[in-house]
Amino acid sequence: MKFLQAHSLLKGFSADKKQRLTLVMSGQPENLSLFLRAEYAQRGVDCEIATIPFNTLHQYLLTTQQSGVEECFLLFPWDFLPELDWRSGVNETLLAVEEVEQRLENIGALFQQRNAHFFYVQAPVLPLYASAAENLRLGKQLVALALQLNAEVLSADFFSLTSYLNFGVPVASNQSGDLADIIIQSLLTPVSQPRKVLVTDLDNVMWHGVIGEEGVAGVKDRPEAEGYPHFIYQTLLRKLKNQGVLLAAVSKNDPDLALAPFQRANAVLREEDFITVLASYEGKAAQINALMAQLNLGLDACVFVDDNPVEIAAVTQALPSVTCVTFPAKVDGLAALVAQLEQLFSTTRLTEEDKQRTRLYRTRLAGMLPVASAEVNLETFLRELEMVLHIADRTHAQQERAVQLINKTNQFNVNGVRYTEAEVNDILQQGGRLWTASLKDKHGDHGEIIACLIDRDEHIVSLVMSCRVMQRKVEQAFLGWLAGRVLTKDYISLRYLKTERNTPVEHFLVAEQFSCVDGIARIARQDFAQQQQTVMSWFTLRVQE
Amino acid sequence: MTETMLENLKDIFRFVLQLPEDASVEQVNQDNTPKWDSMAQVSLVAGIEGEFDVQLELSEAVQITSFESCVKLLEQKLG
């Protein structure tokens, strides 16, 4: 916003919504005050701004704060230590470090007494000590002091030495509009409370790898190679837990598998470090919602960490109050993740109760019913994913990925039977068929994620789906299409065998009301095809025969 | 200095010196304008700097004693 625009906005402006604000700064405040009022006006608020006379900030600090009036402090380094002020010239007396630190502590305590919004401009300062290193350290000390006040720290670009020396106006005229915008945005944002609960995904977050596929021995979370970021993440969670943050895990896995890594002798995090480990194939949003209700905490107290953008998007959409954090795909993103979590859970006081909190909540949850699994608006979410299912006939070519999928998938695998390429070819040469499906959505391409091998008698002898795309009803859409377009018999027949790992298949068969007799899961073909029409409408189906 | 800039400069003078919207500002100077005090001088400089994205040194700022002198100064600064 520029000067004339600010004036135009304020010309004759009046609104029912009123605000009273005191802008406290040691320099001339008039120009910034104009822009602040204009920024408020732009947001429909009629703001009355009081200011203090030039260079009277310290006196103001000794007055009692007025009730019903917001205070906004715009601080510069010399507001903490007047010797740093350009307008006074370089101080002749050499001050002792201890004396300066004591004075900083005193002035910091005075600021702390105000219930106010603080902004700190990191303006350059005059030297105070003989040692350049000490002067540098002082600069950092001032920033730390500002941060203790929860101040928003602003760059030196907002300061103009020319304007300050000539007119006592420390804010650069061409930056006043931007500065006012930053201040108002901050003033209008409710002060966020530290979060209390961290809900974390497991696979590729707590460890590298998918435990349902690679087993407890195959996942990596030690301080070496691919395990390193996950080791660091676990140690961060351990620290957060010790400062009173409640940890919960939510994972699409079998419960025994999800817990296994936390039961190893050398585990950084133990099972008892979590208030609960929710392992099921239900939607995460529903599980988080139910968990927070059981804990009797608002959703805004919760932070959810996952590596999968689809899970992040689903939780964001279903539970907008939950803060969602993406676990980085690359190690370079780890520092930002650590900083973000540190900020979200930042606390200044640590009580004995904080340290015991996990134990208290574990006890509390133990007496409750399991987390309810009602899905939160799944249909809306899936429709908005803009999923494209590309179905391909691989009977005659390009079978490698299908064979690979059949041989490495554990969770959504109807029977766990492995087939070599030769065995697959044998079935195909006898009149069988091999189909695959690839999935794309608005977040990206998931590649070939389903393989389905059908023998000449139309028995589905293998049906596998990558765990990457579970909870999207892809299996329903694919089988629905197959039932309507490829299969011809009265019944769909799947060769089903319960394995240690294929619980998701069991859930699917039960939900779709397949009957299981003698290792064959069956359902009337046309009824099934009909039932899947709605789910199929959530996908754009493309077929390559 | 373009016509638009000249009009904007007139508006800055009217706003800061609290002159009527249709007031002619070409003849305005420190002596004939009671509202033109030291604070108004600061506001004028801030307005000019903010609106035209220029920075005025103290020696330049003190040259602004009338609308006419301000136009001359800006013509020199902005080329």
pLDDT tens column, B13-52: 999 999 998 889 999 999 999 889 888 899 999 999 989 9
Judged by DSSP in three states, A539 sits in strand
Residues 155-214 of A with CB under 8 A from B: 160, 162-163, 165-169, 173-174, 176-177
Spatial contact of A327 and A201, defined as CB atoms under 8 Å apart: yes
Indicate the DSSP class of residue A470.
T
Q: What CA–CA distance (Å, rounded) separates A202 from A262?
A: 11
Q: Which pLDDT score is estimated for A363?
A: 67
ipTM above 0.85, yes or no: yes
Is A160 close to B55, i.e. CB distance below 8 A? Answer: yes
Which neighbouring-strand residues pair with A119? A74, A152
Helices (H), A367-467: 378-384, 400-408, 421-429
- Report the Cα A245 to chain-centroid distance in Å: 16
Query: Does A33 contact B at CB distance below 8 Å?
Result: no
What is the enclosing helix (H) or strand (E) of A249? Answer: strand A246-251
**What's the pLDDT score for residue B5?**
92
Instruction: Inspect the interface and report whether the beta carbons of A169 and B46 lie closer than 8 Å.
Output: yes
CA contacts within 13 A on the Cβ side of A507: 16
**What pLDDT is attached to residue A454?**
96
Enumerate residues 6+ apart whose C-beta is below 8 A from A256.
none
A9 φ, ψ (degrees, to nearest 5)? -60, -35
pLDDT of residue A501: 81
Nearest chain B Cα distance for residue A173, angstroms: 5
Most B CBs within 10 Å, among A167, A171, A178, A179, to test the B interface: A167
Q: At what angle do helices A30-42 and A176-188 cross, to 10 degrees?
A: 50
Q: Determine, for residues B58 and A2 on separate chains, whether the beta-carbon distance falls below 8 Å.
A: no
> Per the CB < 8 Å rule, is B51 touching A4?
yes
Return the H-helix or E-strand segment holding B67. helix B67-78
Q: Among the residues of A322-395, which ranges form H helices?
A: 334-344, 352-366, 378-384
Chain A residue whose CA is closest to B41: A167
Question: Contact A180/A3 with Cβ under 8 angstroms?
Answer: no
CA nearest neighbour of A264 among A214, A221, A325: A221
CA distance A49 to chain B (A): 17
Which residues are CB-neighbours of A18 under 8 A, at least 6 positions away? A45, A46, A47, A48
Q: Distance (Å) from the C-alpha of residue B43 to the closest C-alpha of chain A?
A: 7
Model pLDDT, residue A375? 47
| DSSP class per residue in A96-107 | PHHHHHHHHHHH
Contacts of A389 (CB under 8 A, 6+ apart): A437, A438, A439, A474, A477, A478, A481, A539, A540, A541, A542
Which helix (H) or strand (E) element contains residue B10? Answer: helix B3-16
Q: Bridge-partner residues for A287, per DSSP?
A: none
| Span between the terminal Cα atoms of chain B, in Å | 8
Instruction: Please give the pLDDT value at position A374.
Output: 43
Backbone angles phi, psi at A480, to 5 degrees: -60, -45
Q: What is the token pair recorded at A500?
A: 């240690």
Tell me the chain A residues in contact with residue B56 when contact means C-beta distances shorter than 8 Å. Answer: 162
Taking CB atoms and an 8 Å limit, are A4 and B53 in contact across chains? no
CA distance B47 to chain A (A): 6
* A contact test, residue of B5, B15, B17, B64 with most A CBs within 10 A: B15
Smallest Cβ distance to A3: which of B12, B39, B57?
B12
Q: How far is CA B72 from CA A158, A408, B65, in A?
A: 28, 80, 11
- Report the C-alpha gap between B12 and A4 in whole angstroms: 7
Cα A319 from Cα A154, distance rounded (Å): 32
The candidate with the shortest Cα–Cα distance to A481, out of A391, A394, A386, is A391
For A23-51, letters b (16+ CB in 10 Å) and e give: bbbbbbbebbbbbbbbbbbbeebebebee
Terminal alpha carbon distance of chain A: 59
Sign of CA dihedral B29, B30, B36, B40: positive
pLDDT of residue A353: 63
> How far, in Å, are A202, A220, A233 from residue A223 at the CA level?
17, 9, 11
Q: How many CB atoms sit inside 10 A of residue A96's CB?
A: 9
Q: How far apart are CA A94 and CA A101, in angstroms?
A: 14
Q: What does the pLDDT read at residue A373?
A: 43
Q: Which residue in chain A has the smallest CA separation from B60?
A: A166
Say what the pLDDT of residue B78 is: 83
CB spacing of A173 vs B42 below 8 angstroms: no
B45 and A173 in contact by Cβ < 8 A? yes
Per-residue pLDDT of chain A (545 residues; tens, 9 = 90+): 899 999 889 988 988 998 999 999 999 999 999 999 999 998 889 999 999 988 889 889 888 888 888 899 999 999 999 999 998 899 888 889 999 999 999 999 999 888 899 999 999 999 999 899 999 999 999 999 998 888 889 999 999 999 999 889 999 988 999 999 999 988 887 656 678 899 999 999 999 999 988 889 999 999 998 999 999 999 999 999 998 899 999 988 888 888 999 999 889 999 999 999 888 777 899 899 988 888 878 888 899 999 988 888 889 888 988 999 999 988 999 999 999 898 888 876 666 667 777 877 776 676 554 444 444 466 777 888 889 999 999 999 888 889 988 988 888 999 999 999 999 999 999 999 999 999 988 877 788 899 999 999 999 999 999 877 877 899 999 999 999 999 999 999 999 999 888 888 998 999 999 999 989 999 999 999 999 999 999 999 999 87
> How many angstroms separate the Cα of A61 from the Cα of each of A54, A57, A147, A173, B59?
14, 6, 18, 26, 35
Amino acid A268 reads V
Identity of residue A314:
A
B residues 17-36 lying closer than 8 A (beta carbon) to A: none
Look at residue A261 in the predicted model and tell me its pLDDT.
93
Choose the closest CB to A3 out of B42, B51, B55: B51
Q: Does A272 touch chain B (CB under 8 A)?
A: no
pLDDT of residue A161: 94
A30·B42 Cβ contact <8 A: yes
